[in-house]
Chain A
């Protein structure tokens, strides 16, 4: 497929468990499969939302794609180039791939001025001289809706929304092509969240950006994304165009997730209709076969022995379930 800005093939990240376990019990290998064979792609100028709850691996996926953690297996392609094999200089990558984090308070160095914060990628990744750096940083600040005078301020003088704008300004200062957004609005009030979402839409249009949006908030994911990948316990369980996944989810977990997402609609209380039980499985000792099977209302014997793979439902829409006919 042409025009794939970011692509992963069977990407995995495993951690060795260091938790003290009883040495007398099984010598079974204690590995946490945080990301277990994930294949996704993001076309140029589009947004992919990676949706899931805690422990699903979406944050680990984001950090692996940003090369902050080395992958255990699989391949990552960025702009046609393989970037996970250590042969590419990470500075080359970071000029075109940046990240915005969840917590605005810990995203900005409290000892640095806003202007320097925004300029840091320019200083570290380009060979611009000081006045060029300043000019670019200023433009980024203005692009996110903050006036130039903010450059002289310190983070503790800013509100949560302003801090997140600074983080975004920093991320776009080198005019990257892809932004990984890790829960960019989860820590913000409703009205500030709306401002930031509008900003993200505007910036995407203005700078032809691609976004990978990591979130547990279905409403935000639906609003911003063109395609959605639903993750559960390290695997992608459903993947397809956002409108499709929302309208006609086929994986039982996706269905439960969609029902659980609170919508401001008192006439349609889907939240009270959920039938899911139990909790997200333990990362060290997940269920065998399909990891969702203990909680799945449609599970049968085969679900405990065989891991389902993604199978085609419609054009571009796949789900990993043995009994897709039950959810049709």
Chain B
């Protein structure tokens, strides 16, 4: 399988009122074609930042990229000019967010927004296409029939009921689940290679979440899209992902194929996360939460960030910082328990 994304030694700093925060610290990650990977971690671990950095949407004034590369099919995304970056955003790499209300234009109908995405794709394929969606002010709106047909197909692909009806609706007329699907349809209209989904189902009901996640898996299987799911919910990740990347305080602490991670979690943080999840009734086992809290990221450390909370901490953990290394075939971990 070809490599779609290669992140090497990538760091991002944020300027905040309390000081500089290292949101991402020397991230090393490889994403293969058609892989469904999940970036999992609690708040502040940097998973969203990594997603935003990949698609080039880091807030310009406060975020500064340190050294390091994000390479998409050989092209270093971090070195692109804004114009060049725009060519990739949307058509090669697409992103969907947690709250569709803020990503969908409330003043435009669904069909129009999907139509725009379709047109953008056509223009990228054939720059001579000067097609633009006609705006007929004051009159009932019209989509060119070709585009309308394609938009309806996209809506059907994401299993929105009555696509010919929904295509004329505004975002506020749809429910949360439908809006999320519409956003996925919009993202897919440009036929991206890589789809980044940032907590896409956190705000949805459980059954709707299941439907949307199932849809995303279908998209990967049917269209061959590579999917990067950002989530705080390890259980959700376990149900859909091929590979899980566990993040803590701006670093990757474990990176393994999903079954390997669950049968043999190596990093103490991963183990801690797993033992936090309530399974079955309380007669089963007591939950063992991870003691302590997430560290203050304004303070730089050059020793293991998890050390203060780690039940297996050794001397070396307070002196040096572990790096992400392969402990087993295709199972990487950043922990001194598995060698220096």
Question: Bound state CA distance, A195 and B233, in angstroms?
Answer: 17
Are B209 and A260 interface neighbours, CB within 8 A? yes
The answer to whether A271 touches B273, judged by C-beta atoms less than 8 angstroms apart, is: no
A220: chain B residues at CB < 8 Å are: 278
- Please give, as numbers and ranges, the residues of chain B lying within 8 Å of A161 by CB-CB distance: 293
Segment among B78-86, B101-109, B283-291 that sits at the interface with chain A: B283-291
- Of B3-11, B115-123, B184-192, B211-219, the one touching chain A: B211-219
Residue in B205, B208, B278 with the greatest tally of chain A CB atoms within 10 Å:
B278
**What is the number of residues of chain B that contact chain A, defined by CB distance less than 8 Å?**
46
CB neighbours of A190 from chain B (8 A): 42, 232-234, 273, 276-277
Q: Mark B191-227, 1 if CB is under 8 A from A, else 0.
A: 0000000000000011111110110010000000000
Q: Tell me whether A305 is interfacial, beta carbon within 8 Å.
A: no
User: From DSSP, what is the main secondary structure of chain B's interface residues?
Assistant: helix
B290 cross-chain contacts in A, Cβ below 8 A: 191, 194
- Of listed B214, B234, B258, residue having the most chain A CB within 10 A: B214
* Chain B, 289-305, CB within 8 A of any chain A CB: 289-290, 293-294
Q: Which one of B175, B236, B286, B289 has the highest number of Cβ atoms from chain A below 10 Å of its Cβ?
A: B289
Residues of B within 8 A of A217 (CB): 206
A53: which of B207, B214, B258 is its contact (CB, 8 Å)?
B207
Of all chain B residues, the one with the shortest Cβ separation from A280 is B205
**Nearest chain B CB to A29 CB, angstrom units:** 24
Q: Are B278 and A262 in contact (CB under 8 A)?
A: no
Whether the Cβ atoms of B259 and A267 lie closer than 8 Å is: yes
Interface size classification for chain A = 35 or more
Chain A 247-273 interface 0/1 with B at a Cβ cutoff of 8 Å (1 = within): 000000000110111111111011110
Task: Tell me if B289 and A219 are in contact (CB < 8 A).
Answer: no
| Chain A residues, Cβ within 8 Å of B208 | 53, 279
Given known A263-B279, A266-B258, contact A274–B235 (CB-CB < 8 A): no
Is the CB of B310 closer than 8 A to any CB of chain A? Answer: no
CB of B146 closer than 8 Å to a CB of A: no
For the complex, what is the distance from the CA of A271 to the CA of B231, rounded to whole Å? 16
Q: Is the CB of B235 within 8 A of A264?
A: yes
Q: B323 interface residue, CB < 8 Å from A?
A: no
CB distance from B289 to the nearest CB of A (A): 4
How many angstroms between the C-alpha atoms of A278 and B233 in the bound complex? 24
Residues of B near any A CB (own CB < 8 A): 42-43, 159, 161, 175, 177-178, 205-211, 213-214, 217, 232-236, 238-240, 258-259, 262, 272-282, 286-290, 293-294
